[in-house]
Chain A
């Protein structure tokens, strides 16, 4: 079970079904999100569907485990919806959509998968922030396939082996930080 967290006041209002809070989000945040989706291979309808799902999943998380936020409420909702849209884009590339009689079941499983992915994303981002700047940049470059020769030059390492050792240590540190967190078991354990 995920450790219980105190809900952010705005999320508490969403959970209570407060229509004014939902209206405010549609009036102030949705236009920005819709424009983001349209700039990223989507349509107005895609934006509507994703925004709806983002809010719905946020409420489900708030109900089951609580959602605490360190940034502003609007920035947080925007990030949740943005990640959801990227997930949808990936899904469209990889999968054939389910339909017909399995649609309801597939929808619940899809919502759970999105919630877990969002929570993992938040956990990873939080732990990356705890690494040194050098470590986090090194990992970003490495996984974005920057060649070792360039990494050696950029970070002033003596050899490619030194770079590899450093990357290995940084990832090990990140893995430990993630495993120490109380959320780890709920998000990865069976």
Chain B
């Protein structure tokens, strides 16, 4: 195709032709399928850059016929049903999921307690303490912005936490949580961090689970801090399990550090 014809296509698509030229060009297209195809492709490229699309421009060829044949098959109907079933299963009311999760957390915590106790007895996994010290930082906890009257309780808790007054900090966090209908998810990160400092790992993990379930922008931080809790408890296997999850999701908080840490834990 020569450049002159390409220029005419651009002129046609850009609406720069006179009405007579448009009629003549469309007649030419009707008689020349190759020209028609060029115009369609050119239009699609333009639409792509303007982030739009032409819903009618679907070809009728062997590929679309194969797609149609599959989409109308029993096999496709079965796949669709499987997808719907999983979708419904994952739509279980949050309360039920939370209760179930609490049971699971209790079981996990018991196991963790045993593992930690055994860890203390046998002084296993000495490296996890060092790695925890290297990777855990309170600077990763979110900053707290005053939004309403109750937020001052949260802020006071954060100040107490930063000063190392852990019991006071926990009292502020509990008060804030009790007096706020929709508490800022940050409070659960701080509660978890406080419990972690107090070596109450069961409670720490429970708090981080709430963060993970929150669906908030900080949700993925819950995974990182949960991994830190396991690391501090000396439970290398569970720490690795969570770090692998973080490493598999590029948008998760501390994705790169999780990969680095996994290599060191190997």
Considering only CB atoms, which chain B residue lies closest to A119 in the complex? Answer: B63
Which among A139, A144, A168, A186 is the interface contact of B10 at CB below 8 angstroms? A168
Contact B249 A28 (CB under 8 A): yes
Using A35-B215, A144-B49 as known contacts, say yes or no to A56 and B58 having CB atoms under 8 A apart: no
Is A147 an interface position by the 8 A CB rule?
no
Chain A 36-65 interface mask (CB, 8 Å, partner B; 1/0): 000000000000100110011001110111
Chain A 76-120 interface mask (CB, 8 Å, partner B; 1/0): 000000000011001100110000000000001101110111001
A185 to chain B minimum Cβ distance, whole angstroms, is 8
Contact A64 B66 (CB under 8 A): yes
Is B238 an interface position by the 8 A CB rule?
no
Total number of residue pairs linking A and B with CB closer than 8 Å = 136
Contact B250 A75 (CB under 8 A): yes
How many B residues face the partner with a CB closer than 8 A?
A: 52
What are the residues of chain A within 8 A of B42 when measuring CB–CB? 171, 175
Which among A19, A30, A90, A171 is the interface contact of B45 at CB below 8 angstroms? A171
A128 to chain B minimum Cβ distance, whole angstroms, is 8
Contact A22 B83 (CB under 8 A): yes
A27 to B62 Cα, complex, angstroms: 37
Q: Give chain A's interface secondary structure class.
A: helix
A143 to B48 Cα, complex, angstroms: 9
Considering only CB atoms, which chain B residue lies closest to A31 in the complex? Answer: B215
Contact B46 A143 (CB under 8 A): yes
Using A59-B79, A178-B41 as known contacts, say yes or no to A112 and B7 having CB atoms under 8 A apart: no
Contact A108 B72 (CB under 8 A): yes
Contact B59 A60 (CB under 8 A): no
Considering only CB atoms, which chain A residue lies closest to B48 in the complex? Answer: A124
Is A26 an interface position by the 8 A CB rule?
yes
Contact B249 A117 (CB under 8 A): no
Considering only CB atoms, which chain B residue lies closest to A179 in the complex? Answer: B41
Contact A52 B83 (CB under 8 A): yes
Using A175-B41, A178-B41, A190-B59 as known contacts, say yes or no to A143 and B83 having CB atoms under 8 A apart: no
Chain B 59-71 interface mask (CB, 8 Å, partner A; 1/0): 1111110111011
Contact B63 A186 (CB under 8 A): yes
Which among A2, A91, A124 is the interface contact of B63 at CB below 8 angstroms? A2
A56 to B84 Cα, complex, angstroms: 10
The B-contacting residues of A in range 141-185, CB under 8 angstroms, are: 142-144, 168, 171-172, 174-175, 178-179, 185
A189 to chain B minimum Cβ distance, whole angstroms, is 6
Considering only CB atoms, which chain B residue lies closest to A20 in the complex? Answer: B86
Using A120-B44, A178-B45 as known contacts, say yes or no to A74 and B249 having CB atoms under 8 A apart: yes
What are the residues of chain B within 8 A of A5 when measuring CB–CB? none
What are the residues of chain B within 8 A of A6 when measuring CB–CB? none
What are the residues of chain B within 8 A of A124 when measuring CB–CB? 44-45, 48
A82 to B53 Cα, complex, angstroms: 14
7 closest cross-chain pairs (CB), A and B: A143-B49, A186-B63, A26-B90, A22-B86, A124-B48, A108-B71, A2-B63
Using CB atoms and an 8 Å cutoff, list the residues of chain B in contact with chain A. Answer: 3, 6-7, 10, 37, 40-42, 44-46, 48-53, 55, 58-64, 66-68, 70-72, 75-76, 78-80, 82-87, 89-91, 215, 219, 245, 248-251
> Assuming A60-B76, A115-B67, what are 16 further A-B pairs, CB within 8 angstroms?
A2-B63, A22-B82, A26-B90, A30-B90, A64-B66, A72-B250, A74-B249, A108-B71, A109-B58, A112-B64, A113-B58, A120-B44, A168-B6, A168-B7, A175-B42, A188-B59
6 A–B pairs (Cβ distance < 8 Å), ordered by A:
A32-B251, A35-B215, A55-B83, A63-B70, A188-B37, A190-B61
